[in-house]
């Protein structure tokens, strides 16, 4: 049913910062401020109105939330002081927990499959392995092709000591504490309910 | 009083260096025969002011000409306890408006000539001015009549009483309180935090008014007749059986509004198609009865949609915004949320949300409570299979056609003033329909009809609402609340207080014989020479304020307390027999005749500018401030209002030898800016007949031009003036020079 509020109420409650969505007055300043607007299917304000219109599938399956680069232009400019960047990230996370995201969405793949695994395995980002995993996501052939395309950049980074070619092995000092922090965060998230 | 004129010339602000003081003083003493002529290097300083004050105290002088800056400058410094004061502007409109390079003798000479002319104009004006004899009466009343006992009327009456005056409150029905009696709760009034619906306070206000012994209340009554003028309004109040006559000083009309007839709404909004499509007034009554349910089957109405702007901002229905519907629809959405909690779904379908002032906080509160706002149009209303209403919405925000299933659809219809109908449920008619009205709220016994004139084609009365809210075009009669323009509760209360204060100001001003506004404090009023009157009735017809009635013979019968001193009657009179003690046709004629016109072979044309003191003169002053130069051949004479324009002045200017006349009036039409409503419009009509005058003199008709000047036009005005100067330059010199 159009404009059914069940979905909106879920988002207000369970999506991080989601309760702010009802305060949007649809002025469109966020849309005009977003440097990547051309690559979004819906602007932030449209996404918010879709939440209020009960368009669960369209919102959660959308790639829009994954397009945000966290430049914070929208937050700075929003006349209603909505934490738009955080709302967008919250929606992305909510879509992931609801298992609604397109598994092949590139940002989602990188974030969920490569970056998160890389950082949680050792406690820090290992550039060499991160790059390798990203390039070889779709098989050896395309991996080699991507690596060759990027070789000049890689050499430059090597020269200026921005890239360590030896993969980071083992774990960071105090990894146990880091793991506890992650566990606590997951526990908090599972109980997340925004105060309306 | 014998006039003893003193002329004081300031040489500060560079005037002393730029102008030949000796020559100026010679003009005042020898040519204009002013007995006392003095100068000072800083006339507005304590010493300069003291110089004038000493002459006044010594009795050497009782009328003062100050030749310094614009009359809009230093008015506090040059405030003396005298009847006649004239300011000659040598600085803003002469020194600052002329571009004179050092050593350019011709330009310096032109500037000196302009200054001398302005000094002559001031001296002649002073000689032609007389001390006005104020209109005073001993049988006046200071009571205020309030017509309409709703929120606005109760607030106005209470505030009149609070200020220590007596109020007379007339209410047509048996009950005070008006539309608020039907309301469950009210939108936030004037107290922070403006986030919650407030308890309905009308009962407390009614008791307060009923318990006030300064307020006399007439219920079940109407005003059948209003005769007289401010201070002396004689009112007839009638209920079913008895008539009573009363004298009051001023009147506040607070008859409120009625809602647009929902049966006239477009079919797409579905009114009448289902009992579950209701107006906001009907919904309010349902809420008050504790019945937020479907009218069709009595089921709880948990899903409610509100269609805002129903028949509003739509030229086919009401072409304006009522300014309150967004706010009260939010309030009604809160009713639903408060009653059904988590089960409630409320939707406000809007074009634009308009929540002026603090009501933005109320908007946030409604959003916070969970009301959903949809920008879009209702395109169709039908029924659904669940016994509810199916509303087709074109949602502009997600660019989609959606069907919204609800239990109730509430239509926010617009407000129409009932300022001129005896029936509170009948909207005030507009245009010619008003002439056929059997009776109006006040039934004014005025030559210009029983009603309060409206703004354009709307039902709302006004008199330059930007500068003078609450005013009507009938002096001493004020309108407040939704009768004046559509508004909500908070605005209505502020409005009513404002009108109450204006009403008190009016009775006090009238008691002292002065004008209330725009020429507040003016003691003069028009008088005429009866033996010259041809009973043409032009003055009684053209007076924008209906101040003039007619006697048995058709002669004008002035009501001085109704007059706003705009002098439109003076300009209207073809016999030139209407004048004020301090302003007359003869005065302006004498002034323009005093300007020195150079011989034709000197090749120095002269262009006369008549400028409205309200808008054009400040714009010219601002040009001076910006040092935006104009032609040195211009001579400016300020007029009270363009409405005082007499065609004789044009004829006189032409026969005197002026090469052109430029008139600067205010914008006219529905979005007029004339302080006196119709002054500039009437001047334009009169001017359309000027070509006859010019033909008689065998002169080109494009020697005279009228332009609309706004107070903000300092940047465009120089172009307007130079275009006219160029246009005149292309003509031969006026052949009447030197006659």
Interchain pair A3, B374: CB under 8 A? yes
Q: What is the DSSP letter of B228?
A: S
Nearest chain B residue to A52 by CA: give it.
Answer: B372
Measured CA angle at B560 (ends B557, B561), to 5 deg? 130
Q: How many domains does chain A have?
A: 2
Distance from CA of A43 to the nearest CA of B (A): 10
Interchain pair B372, A45: CB under 8 A? no
- Dist. CA B220–CA B602, nearest whole Å: 77
Interchain pair B373, A5: CB under 8 A? no
Q: Which CATH superfamily is domain B144-258+417-512 in?
A: FAD/NAD(P)-binding domain (3.50.50.60)
Interface test mutation site (partner B, options A22, A26, A82, max chain B beta carbons within 10 A): A22
Helix (H) or strand (E) holding B378: strand B372-383
Distance from CA of B486 to the nearest CA of A (A): 25
- Asked if the C-beta of A57 comes within 8 angstroms of chain B's C-beta atoms, the answer is no
* Residue B422, pLDDT score: 64
Distance from CA of A78 to the nearest CA of B (A): 14
Query: Which of residues A45, A73, A101 is at a domain's end?
Result: A101
Query: Helix A84-97 crosses helix A6-14 at what angle (to 10 degrees)?
Result: 110
- What number of C-beta contacts closer than 8 Å exist between A and B? 46
* CB-CB neighbors (< 8 A) of B334 in chain A: none
Interchain pair A3, B372: CB under 8 A? yes
Q: Identify whether residues A137 and A116 lie together within a single domain.
A: yes
Which of A1, A22, A45 is the closest to B368 by Cβ?
Answer: A22
Contact residues, B window 391-410, toward A, CB-based 8 Å cutoff: 395, 397-398, 402-405
* CB-CB neighbors (< 8 A) of B364 in chain A: 23, 80
Closest of B412, B558, B542, B574 to residue B488, by C-alpha? B412
Residue A196 lies in a domain: no
* CB-CB neighbors (< 8 A) of B363 in chain A: 25
Query: Which CATH class, in words, describes the domain spanning B261-413?
Result: alpha beta
Q: Which neighbouring-strand residues pair with B145?
A: B168, B251
Interchain pair B347, A46: CB under 8 A? no
- Dist. CA A60–CA B406, nearest whole Å: 26
Q: Radius of gyration (Cα) for chain A, nearest Å? A: 19
Query: Which of residues A78, A101, A124 is at a domain's end?
Result: A101
Interchain pair B370, A4: CB under 8 A? no
Interchain pair A49, B395: CB under 8 A? yes
Tell how far CA B82 is from the center of its chain.
Answer: 29
Q: Radius of gyration (Cα) for chain B, nearest Å? A: 31
* CB-CB neighbors (< 8 A) of A4 in chain B: 345
Contact residues, B window 329-368, toward A, CB-based 8 Å cutoff: 342, 345, 347, 353, 363-364, 367-368
* Residue B697, pLDDT score: 84
User: Do B583-739 and B261-413 fall under one CATH topology?
Assistant: no
Domains of chain B: which residue ranges? 1-131, 144-258+417-512, 261-413, 527-576, 583-739
* Residue A195, pLDDT score: 62
* Residue B319, pLDDT score: 87
* Residue B329, pLDDT score: 97
Q: What is the CATH number of the domain that holds A87?
A: 1.10.1060.10
Q: Identify whether residues A183 and A155 lie together within a single domain.
A: yes
Interchain pair A2, B345: CB under 8 A? no
Distance from CA of A174 to the nearest CA of B (A): 44
Contact residues, A window 2-41, toward B, CB-based 8 Å cutoff: 2-5, 8-9, 22-23, 25-26
- B254 within 8 A of B208, measured Cβ to Cβ: no
Q: Identify whether residues A16 and A95 lie together within a single domain.
A: yes
Query: Which of residues A43, A75, A101 is at a domain's end?
Result: A101
**Does residue B557 sit in helix, strand or coil?**
strand
Interchain pair A5, B370: CB under 8 A? yes
* Residue B436, pLDDT score: 58
Interchain pair A26, B375: CB under 8 A? yes
- Asked if the C-beta of B385 comes within 8 angstroms of chain A's C-beta atoms, the answer is no
Interchain pair B395, A1: CB under 8 A? no
Distance from CA of A48 to the nearest CA of B (A): 10
Distance from CA of B331 to the nearest CA of A (A): 17
Residue A2 lies in a domain: no
Distance from CA of A5 to the nearest CA of B (A): 7
Interchain pair A26, B373: CB under 8 A? yes
Residue A38 lies in a domain: yes
Distance from CA of B369 to the nearest CA of A (A): 9
- Dist. CA B415–CA B406, nearest whole Å: 26
Mean pLDDT per 10-residue segment, chain B (739 residues): 93 95 96 96 96 96 96 94 95 95 93 97 96 91 97 98 98 94 90 90 96 96 94 94 95 94 93 95 95 93 96 89 94 96 95 91 95 95 92 92 95 89 68 61 90 80 83 94 92 95 96 89 92 94 94 92 94 95 96 94 93 95 95 96 95 94 92 90 91 86 94 94 95 86
Q: Identify whether residues A87 and A124 lie together within a single domain.
A: no
Q: Identify whether residues A37 and A23 lie together within a single domain.
A: yes
Q: Identify whether residues A38 and A110 lie together within a single domain.
A: no
Interchain pair A25, B367: CB under 8 A? yes
Residue A195 lies in a domain: no
Q: Which residues contact B217 (CB under 8 A, 6 or more apart)?
A: B149, B169, B171, B176, B209, B210
Q: Identify whether residues A120 and A183 lie together within a single domain.
A: yes
Q: By residue range, what is the domain housing residue A95? A: 7-101
- Asked if the C-beta of B370 comes within 8 angstroms of chain A's C-beta atoms, the answer is yes
- Dist. CA B709–CA B665, nearest whole Å: 6
CATH 3.40.50 is right for the domain spanning B1-131: yes
List, as one string, the DSSP characters of B159-200.
Answer: HHHHTT--EEEE-SSSSSSGGGGG-SEE---SSTT--S-EE-
Q: Identify whether residues A81 and A139 lie together within a single domain.
A: no
List, as one string, the DSSP characters of B271-292.
Answer: BTTBTTEEEHHHHHHHHHTT--
Residue A1 lies in a domain: no
Interchain pair A3, B347: CB under 8 A? yes
Q: Identify whether residues A95 and A123 lie together within a single domain.
A: no
Distance from CA of A47 to the nearest CA of B (A): 8
- Dist. CA B691–CA B697, nearest whole Å: 10
Interchain pair B363, A23: CB under 8 A? no
Q: Identify whether residues A155 and A92 lie together within a single domain.
A: no
* Residue B66, pLDDT score: 97
Q: Which fold has domain B583-739?
A: Rossmann fold (3.40.50)
User: What average pLDDT does this structure show over A53-57?
Assistant: 94
* Residue A183, pLDDT score: 94
Which of A4, A22, A53 is the closest to B398 by Cβ?
Answer: A53
Interchain pair B402, A46: CB under 8 A? no
> Which ipTM did the prediction report?
0.87
Contact residues, A window 76-115, toward B, CB-based 8 Å cutoff: 80
Q: Identify whether residues A128 and A181 lie together within a single domain.
A: yes
Nearest chain B residue to A46 by CA: give it.
Answer: B398
Between the CA atoms of A99, A104, A107 and A110, what dihedral angle is there, to the nearest 10 degrees? 90
* Residue B432, pLDDT score: 61
The whole-model pTM stands at 0.87
Q: What does residue B236 show for φ and ψ, rounded to 5 degrees?
A: -110, 120
Q: Identify whether residues A132 and A68 lie together within a single domain.
A: no
CATH 3.30.70.20 is right for the domain spanning B527-576: yes
* CB-CB neighbors (< 8 A) of A3 in chain B: 345, 347, 372, 374, 402, 404
């Amino acid at each position: 049913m159009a404009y059914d509020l069940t979905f909106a109420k879920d988002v207000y409650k369970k999506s991080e910062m989601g309760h702010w969505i009802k305060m949007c007055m649809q002025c469109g300043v966020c849309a005009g401020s977003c440097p990547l607007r051309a690559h979004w299917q819906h602007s932030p304000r449209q996404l918010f109105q879709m939440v209020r219109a009960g368009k669960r599938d369209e919102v959660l399956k959308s790639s829009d939330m994954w397009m945000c680069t966290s430049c914070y232009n929208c937050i700075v400019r929003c006349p209603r002081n909505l934490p738009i960047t955080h709302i967008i990230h919250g929606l992305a996370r909510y879509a992931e927990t609801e298992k609604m995201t397109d598994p092949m969405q590139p940002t989602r793949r990188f974030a969920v499959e490569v970056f998160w695994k890389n950082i949680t395995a050792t406690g820090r980002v290992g550039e060499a392995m991160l790059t390798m995993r990203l390039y070889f996501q779709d098989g050896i052939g395309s991996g080699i092709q991507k690596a060759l395309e990027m070789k000049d950049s890689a050499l430059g980074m090597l020269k200026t000591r921005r890239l360590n070619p030896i993969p980071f092995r083992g774990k960071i000092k105090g990894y146990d504490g880091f793991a506890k922090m992650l566990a606590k965060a997951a526990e908090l998230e599972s109980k997340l309910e925004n105060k309306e | 009083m014998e006039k003893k004129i003193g002329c004081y010339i300031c040489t500060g602000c560079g005037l002393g260096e730029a102008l030949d003081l000796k020559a100026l003083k010679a003009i005042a003493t020898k040519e204009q025969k002013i007995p006392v002529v003095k100068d000072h290097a800083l006339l507005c300083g304590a010493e300069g002011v003291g110089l004038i004050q000493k002459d006044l105290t010594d009795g050497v002088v009782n009328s003062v000409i100050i030749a310094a800056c614009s009359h809009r400058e230093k008015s506090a410094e040059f405030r003396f306890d005298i009847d006649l004061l004239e300011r000659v502007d040598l600085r803003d409109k002469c020194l600052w408006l002329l571009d004179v390079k050092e050593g350019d003798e011709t330009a310096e000479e032109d500037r000196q000539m302009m200054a001398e002319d302005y000094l002559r104009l001031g001296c002649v004006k002073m000689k032609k001015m007389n001390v006005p004899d104020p209109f005073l009466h001993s049988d006046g009343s200071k009571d205020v009549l309030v017509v309409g006992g709703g929120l606005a009327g109760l607030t106005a009456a209470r505030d009149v009483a609070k200020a220590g005056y007596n109020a007379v409150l007339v209410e047509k029905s048996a009950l005070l309180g008006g539309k608020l009696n039907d309301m469950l709760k009210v939108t936030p009034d004037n107290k922070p935090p403006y986030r919650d619906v407030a308890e309905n306070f009308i009962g407390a206000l009614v008791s307060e008014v009923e318990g006030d012994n300064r307020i006399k209340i007439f219920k079940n009554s109407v005003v059948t007749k209003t005769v007289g003028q401010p201070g002396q309004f004689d009112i007839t109040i009638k209920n079913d059986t008895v008539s009573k006559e009363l004298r009051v000083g001023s009147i506040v009309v607070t008859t409120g509004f009625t809602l647009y007839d929902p049966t006239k709404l477009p079919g797409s909004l579905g009114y009448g198609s289902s009992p579950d499509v209701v107006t906001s007034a009907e919904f309010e009554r349902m809420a008050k009865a504790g019945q937020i349910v479907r009218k069709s089957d009595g089921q709880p109405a948990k899903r409610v949609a509100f269609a805002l702007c129903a028949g509003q901002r739509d030229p086919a229905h009401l072409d304006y915004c009522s300014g309150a519907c967004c706010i009260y629809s939010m309030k009604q959405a809160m009713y639903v949320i408060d009653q059904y909690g988590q089960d409630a779904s409320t939707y406000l379908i809007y074009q634009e949300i308009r929540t002026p002032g603090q009501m933005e906080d109320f908007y946030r509160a409604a959003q916070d409570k969970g009301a959903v706002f949809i920008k879009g149009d209702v395109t169709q209303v039908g029924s659904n299979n669940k016994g509810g209403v199916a509303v087709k919405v074109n949602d502009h925000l997600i660019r989609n056609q959606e069907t919204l299933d609800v239990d109730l659809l509430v239509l926010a219809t617009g407000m129409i003033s009932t300022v001129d109908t005896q029936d509170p449920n009948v909207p005030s008619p507009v245009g010619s329909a008003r002439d056929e009205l059997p009776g109006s709220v006040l039934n004014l016994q005025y030559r210009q009809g029983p009603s309060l004139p409206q703004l354009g084609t709307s039902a709302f009365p006004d008199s330059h609402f930007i500068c003078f809210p609450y005013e009507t075009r009938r002096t001493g009669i004020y309108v407040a609340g939704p009768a004046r323009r559509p508004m909500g509760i908070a605005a209505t209360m502020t409005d009513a207080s404002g009108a109450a204060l204006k009403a008190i100001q009016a009775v006090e001003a009238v008691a002292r014989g002065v004008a209330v506004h725009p020429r507040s404090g003016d003691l003069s009023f028009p008088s005429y020479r009866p033996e010259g009157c041809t009973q043409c009735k032009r003055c009684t017809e053209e007076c924008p304020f209906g101040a003039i009635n007619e006697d048995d013979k058709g002669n004008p019968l002035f009501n001085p307390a109704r007059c706003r001193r705009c002098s439109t009657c003076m300009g209207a009179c073809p016999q030139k027999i209407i004048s004020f003690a301090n302003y007359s046709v003869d005065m302006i004629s004498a002034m323009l005749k005093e300007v020195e016109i150079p011989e034709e072979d000197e090749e120095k044309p002269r262009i006369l500018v008549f400028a409205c003191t309200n808008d054009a003169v400040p714009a010219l002053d601002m040009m001076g401030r910006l040092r935006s130069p104009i032609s040195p051949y211009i001579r400016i004479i300020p007029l009270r209002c363009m409405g005082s324009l007499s065609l004789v002045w044009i004829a006189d200017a032409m026969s005197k030898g002026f090469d052109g006349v430029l008139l600067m009036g205010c914008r006219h039409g529905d979005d007029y800016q004339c302080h006196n409503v119709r002054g500039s419009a009437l001047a334009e009509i009169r001017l359309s007949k000027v070509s006859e005058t010019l033909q008689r003199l065998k002169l080109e008709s494009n020697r005279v031009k009228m332009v609309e000047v706004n107070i903000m036009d300092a940047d465009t005005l120089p172009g307007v003036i130079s275009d006219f100067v160029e246009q005149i330059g292309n003509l031969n010199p006026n052949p009447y020079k030197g006659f």
